[in-house]
Amino acid sequence: MTGKLPGVERFVDVEPGVRLWVTEAGDPAAEPLLLIMGANASGLTWPDPLVDALAARHRVIRYDHRDTGRSSWPFDTTTYPLAQLAEDAVAVLDALGVARAHVAGMSLGGSLVQLLLIDHPERLLSATLWSTAALGSWTPRAGPEASALPSPDPSLFELWEHLTAPRDREAELEFRVEHWRRLRGAGPFDPDEFHRLEERIIAHAGRHDSPAAHARADPSGLERAAELNGVSTPTLVIDARQDPVNPPPHAAYLASVIPGAELVTIPGLGHALGSDVLPALAEAILRHTAKHSR
């Protein structure tokens, strides 16, 4: 490799009035790897140790979704469907001059990766998904197999009822850490680790109000599970056995509807990226991208 990007930051205009914060790490000549975070989550939610491990082999690109972090927060004046966030990901690649990239996404980011697999396969070298569900799994139109899949832990619904409630900075930090604790599932949880993470995210955004626009956005356009049968991009589905949002067998079902998808399990992985799971997660992603390198 040649030189490495020392955390290059820029802003990308994806449409009039909407600007996204983007950062890159790693060798600019290496194969690009685009990280797509979940709902209401800044790109800084990707832990630095994970980014550093991936950047040893890739030009790693991460960004703030609209209505998170330093990106534009337009939802209160200009609403949009959740599916628009997938087009934002393509706009980021366009702005950086990236013709094709490996992509990895968790939670809603995994749903967005599925939309990219369907709508923009020519832009993808490979895809990795975890802590997510097959498109449309929770909708009334889902088929009988998907309808039988488990719903999120009820304690999460109790917390989500207060997602948009106004809170001062300390109360918001406490709420976010508790949210991560529940998302972690039945495994070790270090509240200080996630308190530091959210302190950093609030400082990055310059505001502490809850980034909850994606919870209010129109989910129509995500009911496209049948189209996953036509996917040909090499896809890895990681089974997060401790995930309380998309518990087993969500990952196995998702892998079954994407032709040729590989399914691997990372012990202890939930819906929060604690330091204990990062080495195994990085290894799984890098093994997959290496198999499908140009």
Complete domains list, the chain, with CATH: 5-291 (3.40.50.1820)
pLDDT at 225 > cutoff 60: yes
Confidence at residue 142, expressed as pLDDT on a 0 to 100 scale: 46
Provide mean pLDDT across the span 162-172. 96
Query: Edge-to-edge, what's the strand order for the sheet holding 59-63?
Result: 5-15, 18-26, 59-63, 32-36, 101-106, 124-130, 235-239, 262-265
- Residues carrying an active site annotation: 107, 243, 271
pLDDT score of 146: 56
Distance (Å, whole) CA 218 – CA 230: 25
| pLDDT beyond 50 at 8 | yes
User: Which residues are bridge partners to 59 per DSSP?
Assistant: 32
Q: pLDDT tens, 11-47?
A: 999 999 999 999 999 999 999 999 999 999 999 999 9
Percent of the chain scoring above 70 in pLDDT: 94
Q: Per-residue pLDDT averaged across 182-201, rounded?
A: 96
Structure confidence at residue 4 (pLDDT): 55
Q: Kindly tell me if the per-residue pLDDT of 145 is higher than 80.
A: no
Asked whether residue 144 carries a pLDDT value surpassing 60, the answer given is: no
Task: Quote the pLDDT of residue 187.
Answer: 82
Mean pLDDT (whole number) for 230-259: 97
Question: What is the per-residue pLDDT for 274?
Answer: 96
Say if residue 40 is exposed, middle or buried (CB neighbours under 10 Å; 0-12, 13-18, 19+): buried
Instruction: Give the global pTM.
Output: 0.95
| pLDDT surpasses 70 at 143 | no
